[in-house]
A and B are shown apart, each in its own frame.
Chain A
Amino acid sequence: MSLLVPLAGLALLALPAIMLLYFLKVRRPQLQVSSLLFWRPHVSDRQANAPWQRLRPSLLLLLQLLAAALLALGLMRPGVIGAAGVSSTTVVILDASPSMEATDVAPSRFQAAVARAKQMAGQLGPGQQMAVVLLGPHPELLAPPTGDPAVLRAALDRAHPAGGRGDFAEGISLANAVLSGRAGGSIVMLSDGHSLPPPTPPRALAPLAYESIGVTGENAAIESVSQTANGTIFLELANYGREARDLKVEMVADGRLADVLPVHLDGNTTVDLTWNHLPVGTRVLEARLTPGDDFALDDAAWLLTAPPPQRRVLLVTSQNAFLQRALQLRPGLELTTEKPADYRPGRYDLYVFDGWLPPGGIPQPALIVDPPAGLGPVPVSGQIDPGEVLPGNPQDRILQDVDLQDVHVQSAGAVRTVPPGWRAVIAAAADPLLLVREGGQPEAVLTFDLHHSDLPLRAAFPILIQNLLQYLMPGGFENQVFPLGQPVNLQVESGTRSVQVVTPDGRTVALPSPSTPFTDTTRPGVYTVRQRLASGTRVSRFVVQLQDPSISRIAPGAAPLVQAASRPAGPAPRGTLEIWPWLVAAGLGALLLEWLVYLGAPARRLHPWGRWRRRLEART
């Protein structure tokens, strides 16, 4: 026997307090009556009429003391320690995949699963515990093992569908971690069978009971909306159900209904539609199916038709056609080329200095090519003959898709020491050729003249320049479409003070830091990003959309397969069987009995002596 909350033993002080009340004199108000004839001396509560009178036995007192003792003991949560076979832990895996938002089960599959989990929490017996795992792309332990239904309900109230398919293998792994060291456990999965299936069935430490949620597979979806170069809108629709459906597609341009397209969808087919009536100047086009169905997440699709914001780049060079052409390949880039003599500082998103550096400070962010000796953030001195170049780190994202084979550099500036905070991306033997600064304002230095290398002649050159632009001038999320639930790296511009994202349902989410990925992409629609810069506020948009046909096929799936894993050998885990529910029930029962005795008449009926006396009276 152990006490889980020994401090609650203070509640036992109620016992002497109750006895003290019996010792204390009761001051009764006096009431004149015509007769005492109808007032029977009631069940004696034995309140003393003089202080410290000898305590006389009283049924009420005994019942009150019994109730107080039982309730106090219950508060101390006594438990019997024994083999944990008497206790069991159930891990409920709650599938939070997007398909669980289908409403074929009211109010939704996910809410039905939550209600079922709450019901299971309410049915926990003494010694039984339950844990809840929310099965999203990254499963999380929503509630650790507990026998307290209130804690479980509170945790389940916090549950919400995740944006992506639940990772079943990770969920089972998490359940195993919860069950390790416990005996008599079980795993219950509440799902519609659309979690991400692992290549091989995972091993589960306890039997898996699968409860299927959902009844129908009827669902139509807008797979995609795109715009061709000539401005034609292209829609792809799919019917994942068996029944043919006649639907309408509403084309909404900037919030105003522009057109309605009728469409017939046979069962399990896809249909392509084109539309050429996009109003001029439309920024956001929404296509939505009507009437809706039981799965609303894929009933609409969005297209951002406004061009992304222009990025201004200043190239200061005497003459470098290679560089100029490579920079111009980036869409949405406004390139200004100046001679060094004409250089005037201005507001640019990126400065590219080729063979020249401005006196008195270099504006940032900057790409410096062939810096003059002794100048710039990475001073170069002398010349080296690097010959064949090598990637500093092949996994570097600046070198993504950049093939440096057969790239040669005839001469380059020698960098004796790499300044702190810089790293070499391309090197020749021990001499760095391309360095970038990590953290703070991004900068990059190419230590050689492009004309003294065959790099500009290779396919790797424009790719390297684009990667450098992406590094130096982050962005690129504008007007892009991201899958539901996927974190979006906003890659805000340097100098951004704060970033706010307005979700499709109107919530404004402030990112804790500009570099933090935005993860709240659980609702499909248009997300608006507001970047506060020194120069003002830049507004851009991106779209989050369900792009996974396997989720749109909402028909409940089969139970996922698991492998039974043998438990680790060793002594059986021991658990504590809590007996407080019985104590509390007994205490409340004693209180009820005390109340009945107090009420009088029912008490006489309950009391055996009262029944004998009534029978005796009936016979005489």
Chain B
Amino acid sequence: MLTAGELALLGRLDLVYRRPQSGLYSGERRSPRSARSPEFSDFRPYVHGDDFRQVDWRAYARLERLVLRLYVAEEEACLNLLLDASASMGLGQPAKWGAARRLVAALAFLGLAAMDRVQVGTLAGARLPPLRGRDGVSRVWTFLERLEPEGGARPEDLRRQRWTRPGLTVVVSDFLVEGTSTGGVEAAEAAAGTWAVPLADLASRRQEAVLWQVLAPDEERPAASGDVRLVDVESGATRELTITPGLVDEYRRALAAHREGLARAARAAAGRFLHSTSADDLETMMLAGLRVGLVKRS
């Protein structure tokens, strides 16, 4: 699913978690909390009730003051990857499905390489058991390769997911769902707004939401013109149009409004929104992740 070059690229990257992690097992992820570990973090004055075992006696000998040595806590982080496997993901030139799968595979690789607790699933409900360690990479890839884009996807699907532990939830989708019977800027804003409640619910479950939109280039700038009958691949709804330059301009304004609405909904849930196209290579997509602080150079 990923080439050796792409794996080498991912080897130089790491995921960024904003929330304090509270995995069941200690892991390689630095925790904001201090704990016992081989890696020194800081000193602090002794207060009543502290564990005497953490007192730095050498410092006491020099300073005649009791100070405690603090160490970096390394904890296990939870990464939830949700892939939109609806039929619309199979469209585009190149198809969004391939790019979205590779993106999920790359993020899963980053999490598993960092000994995070990684769970991969689809918005429709299919899921893999939580995995940990590099051994899980092949299972994730096999799971992704067996998926096929079909059916639909709705914002409410997010609420049906089971969130057992706090963590980072990345939703990879085109986020194209029918809002109202009419199209245009107003409909796009309304459709983006339907993601706000599920994302708020996600936040209430201590999930840091990341919405990663993947669209095809011909969806960002439609090339069709003239008299056409458009068919929604998921709902089967049709619309007869005469596509003119003016209509294409309006399409692009609606797309921008939709993205703005998604970003607003994500920010309201203390999350992030980013987008890429199916023509982007993995390096470009990771650069987008770097830009919003989802990944960092290790």
Q: Which residues of A contact B272 (CB under 8 A)?
A: none
Chain A 16-45, CB-CB to B under 8 Å as 1, else 0, gives: 000000000010111111111111111001
Nearest opposing residue in chain B for A45, CB measure? B242
Q: Check: B174 CB closer than 8 A to any chain A CB.
A: yes
Q: Contacts A35-B177, A35-B232, A40-B247 known; list 20 others, CB within 8 Å.
A: A28-B228, A30-B229, A31-B228, A34-B174, A34-B232, A36-B230, A36-B237, A36-B239, A37-B191, A38-B183, A38-B251, A38-B254, A39-B247, A40-B182, A42-B241, A42-B242, A47-B227, A598-B242, A601-B249, A602-B246
Q: What are the 6 tightest A-B residue pairs by CB atom distance, in nearest-first order?
A: A40-B184, A600-B246, A34-B88, A599-B246, A35-B176, A38-B254
A26-B184 Cα distance, complex, nearest whole Å: 24
Q: Is B91 in contact with A598, judged by CB distance below 8 angstroms? A: no
Q: Roughly how many angstroms separate A212 CA and B254 CA in the complex, as a whole number?
A: 65
Interface size of B by CB at 8 A reads 42
Counting CB contacts under 8 A, is B250 at the interface? Answer: yes
B233 within 8 Å of A by Cβ?
yes
User: Out of B91, B177, B179, which one reaches A32, CB within 8 Å?
Assistant: B91
Q: How far is the CB of A446 from chain B (nearest CB, A)?
A: 96
Docked CA distance A539–B43 (Å):
124
Q: Is B188's CB under 8 angstroms from A37's CB?
A: yes
Give Cα A293 to B232, complex, Å: 81
B237 / chain A contacts, CB cutoff of 8 Å: 36
Bound complex: CA A31 to CA B231 (Å): 6
Given the complex, which residues of B lie within 8 Å of A31, measured CB to CB?
224, 228-231
Q: Which B residues are in CB contact (< 8 Å) with A28?
A: 227-229, 240
A42 / chain B contacts, CB cutoff of 8 Å: 241-242, 244, 247
Candidates B178, B182, B224, B250; contact of A35 at CB < 8 Å: B178
Give B203-229 as 1s and 0s: 1 = Cβ < 8 Å from A's Cβ atoms: 000000000000000010000100111
Q: Establish whether residues B176 and A598, one from each chain, have CB atoms under 8 Å apart when the complex forms.
A: no
Contact A41 B241 (CB under 8 A): yes
Q: How far is the CB of B145 from chain A (nearest CB, A)?
A: 22
CA separation between A29 and B219, bound complex, in Å? 18
Question: Is B133 in contact with chain A by the CB < 8 A criterion?
Answer: no
B176 touches which one: A34, A41, A45, A49 (CB < 8 A)? A34
Would you give the shortest CB distance from A620 to chain B, in whole angstroms? Answer: 12
Q: How many A residues, CB 8 Å from partner?
A: 25
**A39→B245 CA distance, assembly (Å):** 12
Q: Are B228 and A29 in contact (CB under 8 A)?
A: yes
Q: Which of A33, A49, A600, A601 contacts B230 (CB 8 A)?
A: A33
* Min C-beta distance of A147 to chain B, whole Å: 39
**Which chain B positions have C-beta within 8 A of A598?**
242, 244, 246
B66 at the interface (CB under 8 A from A): no
Say how far A492's CB is from chain B's closest CB, in angstroms: 73
The interface bits of chain A over 547-563 (1 if a CB of B lies within 8 angstroms of the residue's CB, else 0) are: 00000000000000000
Chain B residues near A37: list those with CB within 8 A: 176-179, 183, 187-188, 191, 254, 258
A29 vs B237: C-alpha distance when bound (angstroms) = 15
Bound Cα distance from A45 to B227, whole angstroms = 10
A26 to B226, CA, bound (A): 11
Given known contacts A31-B229, A600-B250, A36 and B183 CB-to-CB distance under 8 angstroms: yes
Q: Contacts of B254 on A, CB cut-off 8 Å?
A: 37-38, 40
Contacts of B227 in A (CB 8 A): 26, 28-29, 47
CB distance from B151 to the nearest CB of A (A): 13
Give a binary string over B165-208; 1 marks a CB under 8 Å from any A CB, 0 the rest: 00000000010111100111101100100000000000000000
Whether A601 contacts B246 by the Cβ 8 Å rule is yes
Find B244's partner among A30, A38, A49, A599 (CB 8 Å cutoff): A599
CB atoms of B232 and A33 under 8 A apart: yes
Please give, as numbers and ranges, the residues of chain B lying within 8 Å of A45 by CB-CB distance.
242
**Min CB distance, B185 to chain A, in Å?**
8
- Whether B73 is near chain A, meaning CB under 8 Å from some CB there, is no
Minimal beta-carbon separation of A616 from chain B (angstroms): 13
List of B residues within 8 angstroms of A600 by Cβ? 244, 246-247, 250
A residues at B contact (CB < 8 Å): 26, 28-42, 45, 47, 49, 598-603
Identify which of B182, B227, B247 gathers the most chain A CB atoms within 10 Å of its CB.
B247
Residue from the set A30, A38, A49, A602 with the largest chain B CB neighbour count within 10 Å: A38
How far is B179's CA from A39's CA once the two chains are assembled, in angstroms? 12
Asked if B187 and A30 sit within 8 Å, CB to CB, the answer is no
Knowing A599-B246, A602-B246 are in contact, say whether A41-B231 is a contact too (CB < 8 A): no
Q: Tell me the bound Cα distance from A603 to B224 in angstroms.
A: 21
Q: Can you name 8 A-B pairs with beta carbons within 8 Å?
A: A30-B229, A34-B89, A35-B178, A38-B187, A42-B241, A42-B244, A600-B246, A601-B246
Instruction: Say how far A604's CB is from chain B's closest CB, in angstroms.
Output: 9
**Residue B255 is within 8 A (CB to CB) of chain A in the complex:** yes
Contact A39 B251 (CB under 8 A): yes
- Bound Cα distance from A36 to B229, whole angstroms: 11
Central interface residue in A32, A39, A41, A42, by most chain B CB within 10 Å: A39
In the assembly, what is the distance between CA of A598 and CA of B188, in Å? 23
Residues of A within 8 A of B188 (CB): 37-38
Query: Contact at A40–B91, with CB atoms within 8 Å?
Result: no
Interface string of B154-169 (1 = CB under 8 A from A): 0000000000000000
B247 touches A33 (CB 8 A): no
| Chain B residues with CB under 8 A of A36 | 178, 183, 230, 232, 237, 239
Partner among A32, A33, A38 whose Cβ is within 8 Å of the Cβ of B255: A38
Q: How far is the CA of A600 from the CA of B251 in the complex (A)?
A: 12
Q: Is B92 an interface residue (CB 8 A)?
A: yes
User: Which residue of B has the minimal Cβ distance to A35?
Assistant: B176
* Option from B176, B177, B250 in Cβ contact (under 8 Å) with A601: B250
**Which residues does chain A contribute within 8 Å of B177, judged by CB atoms?**
35, 37
Name which of A31, A34, A36, A602 has the most chain B CB atoms within 10 A of its CB.
Answer: A34
Contacts of A599 in B (CB 8 A): 244-246
Interface residue from B91, B184, B242 paired with A38 (Cβ < 8 Å): B184
Decide if A34 touches B219 in the complex (CB within 8 Å). yes
CA distance in complex: A598, B232 (Å): 24
Closest to A43 in B: B242
List residues of chain B with CB within 8 A of the CB of A34: 88-89, 91-92, 96, 174, 176, 219, 232-234
Query: Which of the listed residues A37, A41, A45, A599 has the most CB atoms from chain B within 10 Å of its own CB?
Result: A37
Complex alpha-carbon distance, A39 and B239, angstroms: 8
Task: Looking at the assembled complex, report how far the CB atom of B194 sits from the nearest CB atom of chain A, in whole angstroms.
Answer: 11
Measured in the bound complex, the distance between the Cα atoms of B245 and A108 in whole Å is 50
Q: A28-B228, A33-B91, A33-B231 are contacts. A39–B244 as well, Cβ < 8 Å?
A: no
Task: Give the residue name and chain of the B residue nearest to A599 (CB).
Answer: B246
> CB-nearest residue of chain A relative to B242?
A45
Q: A41 to B182, Cβ gap below 8 A?
A: yes
Q: Are B183 and A39 in contact (CB under 8 A)?
A: yes
User: For residue A33, which residues in chain B have a CB less than 8 angstroms away from its CB?
Assistant: 91, 219, 230-233
Contact A41 B183 (CB under 8 A): yes
Cα A42 to Cα B258 with chains together (Å): 19
Chain A residues with CB under 8 Å of B247's CB are 39-40, 42, 600
Interface residue ranges of B133-154 to A (CB < 8 Å) = none
A603 to B249, CA, bound (A): 13
CA–CA, A29 and B243, complex, Å? 12
Give the shortest distance, in Å, between B166 (CB) and chain A (any CB).
Answer: 32
Q: B181 → chain A, closest Cβ, in Å?
A: 9
